[in-house]
Structure 1
Amino acid sequence: RVPPFSKEEFRGSAMKRPTPPEALPDPAGSPDDSKRHLRADARRNYERLVEAAHVVFARDGGGASMEAVAREAGVGVGTLYRHFPKRIDLVEAVYRTDVDELAAVAEKAVANLEPWPAVEAFTQAFRRYASTKRTFLTELHEAFEKSPDLKSRSRERIDQAWNLVIGRAQEAGVLRTDVTGADLMQLVAPLCTNAAVSEEQGTRLLAVIIDGLRPTA
């Protein structure tokens, strides 16, 4: 078995992350060095804040204070609020980044692994992705209400990632043809968001799900 991508590979994918407004090119053109430096600093702070929010939400839940996120990122609270005026803005940025990275894992799996190991790797990656949502589900629902298209577009993108991986495996004849990406999301997600499922039990159940994807004789 080819081991699933590590957390570092999953978190460090090459997929482009959301670009903070401060990091966009100056529409007037030809910015001087100081302006470029300010935009670079703003971009770094934005990325540090999103990464810090991942850590803090996983550790303390979605109700963690904004001060805790700023402290984890090593920036002032004022810097945090310049990028994310409301907590829900930060939650949305974290979620969008997660979806970007999950989509990148699918592309990486297809590019670098054989069809069946790619299915295993992406299924494990999806489990990690979904598990991180357990601690801030309430905040995510609020983000979906604030931005109605956030859930539908993200769901569509995740569907595409699943179908990229399983479609290739189906064409290779190593995965049953009556399974869709939506099916697998419904199978795997409950293992990750249900607090009653232990890590050990979740690992065993996921192995059962993966084994059940092989074609029947």
Structure 2
Amino acid sequence: MTADPLAETREKPTAAPPKRPRADAQRNRERLAEVAALEFAEHGIETSLEEIARKAGVGIGTLYRHFPSREHLVEVVYRREVEALSAAADELAARHPSDVALSEWMQRFVDYIAAKRGMANSLKLLSASNSELFSSSWGMISRALSRLLDAARAEGLIREDIDVSDVFHALSGIYAAPASPDWRDRSRRLVSLLMDGLRAGARRGRP
């Protein structure tokens, strides 16, 4: 009988390539973006990339493999912050009464503002070359807030004569406030005051 030259190949199928390196790379990328968001919010856009890499537990070469430039890192961090803020609306709505979900989301908005303020100079440059990034991001955030406001209004837990533009107009004052060591704490207190105003005159109110 003539031996089948392909038999050995069929009997020993090629093993699938290991997935660990890809998973490790994705974890490194996510960790770098997470650390960068915190560093930008705390120290501004000029924060050292070497320090970001160190705090993420990787080398500077790994950072540059994922983010070839500071501007690329800023764009990824900004997208990540927008997506997280948008997703938080549904997560909070699933766990809390509608007015509490709205209040918690606006407190998270303070963290988003802090990161955005830290990246302000680079975001201005990006806006000139990637206007779609900002229009789509604004749409995601606006829709998230609309869902929370609509739910709280429908349940009579906030006043009915408030819309998305009113709330964003109030929150914009937080973004424009001068930087100071207590900026974040002060901003959180202002959000609490804003929420008290939204609850005033509601049909039901919270006992």
Relative to the length of structure 2, the TM-score reads 0.81
User: Out of 141, 163, 175, which is 2:158 matched to?
Assistant: 175
Q: How many angstroms apart in 1 are the aligned matches of 2:109 and 2:119?
A: 17
Q: Decide which structure has the larger Cα Rg and report it.
A: 2
Count, aligned residues: 187
Q: How many angstroms apart in 1 are the aligned matches of 2:56 and 2:130?
A: 26
Q: How many angstroms apart in 1 are the aligned matches of 2:142 and 2:35?
A: 27
- Post-superposition Cα deviations, 1:14-38, rounded to whole Å, max 9, x if no partner, equal xxxxxxxxxxxxxxxx98233x222
- Post-superposition Cα deviations, 1:168-214, rounded to whole Å, max 9, x if no partner, equal 01111122223222321221132144225744543443233212213
1:138 is matched with which residue? 121
User: Out of 190, 193, 197, which is 1:208 matched to?
Assistant: 193
1:33 aligns to 2:17 (yes or no): yes
Mapping 1:139-154, distance limit 5 Å: 139-154=122-137
Mapping 1:54-203, distance limit 5 Å: 54-195=37-178, 198-199=182-183, 200-203=185-188
CA-CA distance at 1:121 after TM superposition: 1.2
For structure 1, the 5+ residue unaligned runs are 1-29
Output the amino acid matched with 2:164: G
For structure 2, the 5+ residue unaligned runs are 1-13, 203-207
Conserved in 1, the CA contact under 8 Å of 2:40 and 2:47? Answer: yes
Conserved in 1, the CA contact under 8 Å of 2:152 and 2:158? Answer: yes
Conserved in 2, the CA contact under 8 Å of 1:130 and 1:189? Answer: no
Conserved in 2, the CA contact under 8 Å of 1:134 and 1:193? Answer: no
SS in 2 for 1:164: helix
Q: How many angstroms apart in 2 are the aligned matches of 1:203 and 1:163?
A: 20
Relative to the length of structure 1, the TM-score reads 0.77
Alignment CA distance shift 1:192-1:71 (3 Å): same
Conserved in 1, the CA contact under 8 Å of 2:85 and 2:108? Answer: yes
Q: How many angstroms apart in 2 are the aligned matches of 1:122 and 1:129?
A: 10
